[in-house]
Amino acid sequence: MTTLDDLPLRDDLRGKSPYGAPQLDVAVRLNTNENSYPVPDAVVEAIGKAVQAELRDLNRYPDRDAVALRTDLAGYLGHGLTAAHVWAANGSNEVQQQLLQAFAGPGRTALGFGPAYSMHPLLAAGTGTRWIGARRGPDFGLTAADAVAQIEEHQPDLVFLCSPNNPTGTALDPSVLDAVLAATAGMVVVDEAYAEFARPGTPSALGLLAGHPRLVVTRTMSKAFGFAGGRLGYLAAHPAVVDAVQLVRLPYHLSALTQAAARAALAERDALLATVDAIKEQRDRIVGSLRARGTEVADSDANFVLFATAADQSAVWQAFLDRGVLIRDVGVPGWLRVTAGDPAETSAFLTAAEEILP
Q: Does 21 share its domain with 46?
A: no
Listed residues 271, 288, 315: the one ending a domain = 271
Q: Does 82 share its domain with 10?
A: no
CA distance 21 to 11: 25
Q: Does 267 share its domain with 314?
A: no
Q: Does 259 share its domain with 154?
A: yes
Q: Does 9 share its domain with 151?
A: no
Q: Does 321 share its domain with 203?
A: no
Listed residues 271, 300, 321: the one ending a domain = 271
Q: Is the pLDDT of residue 358 over 90?
A: no
230: CB partners within 8 A, 6+ apart: 221, 222, 258, 261, 262, 265
**What pLDDT does residue 22 have?**
83
| Three-class SS state of 191 | strand
What is the extent of the structural domain holding 29? 4-39+274-356
**What pLDDT does residue 240 have?**
98
39: confidence class by pLDDT, cuts 50, 70, 90: very high
CA separation, residue 286 to residues 6, 298, 340 (Å): 47, 11, 8
CA distance 59 to 42: 29
Question: DSSP E strands: which ranges in the chain?
Answer: 28-29, 86-89, 109-114, 130-135, 158-162, 187-191, 215-220, 233-237, 304-308, 325-326, 335-339
Q: Does 202 share its domain with 350?
A: no
Tens-digit pLDDT profile for residues 246-293: 999 999 999 999 999 999 999 999 999 999 999 999 999 999 999 999
Give kind and range of the element (H or E) at residue 65: none
Mean pLDDT, the chain, rounded, equals 96
Tens-digit pLDDT profile for residues 171-228: 999 999 999 999 999 999 999 999 999 999 999 999 999 999 999 999 999 999 999 9
Return the number of other C-beta atoms located less than 10 Å from residue 173's C-beta.
Answer: 16
Listed residues 216, 246, 271: the one ending a domain = 271
Q: Does 51 share its domain with 175?
A: yes
Residue 319: CATH number of its domain = 3.90.1150.10
Report the Cα 130 to chain-centroid distance in Å: 21
Q: Does 23 share its domain with 46?
A: no
Pick from 172, 179, 232: which is nearest to 206 by CA?
172
Q: Does 329 share its domain with 349?
A: yes
Q: Write down the pTM of the prediction.
A: 0.95
The total number of structural domains that make up the chain:
2
First to last CA, the chain: 48
Q: Does 34 share its domain with 49?
A: no
Tens-digit pLDDT profile for residues 94-126: 999 999 999 999 999 999 999 999 999 999 999
Q: Does 213 share its domain with 282?
A: no
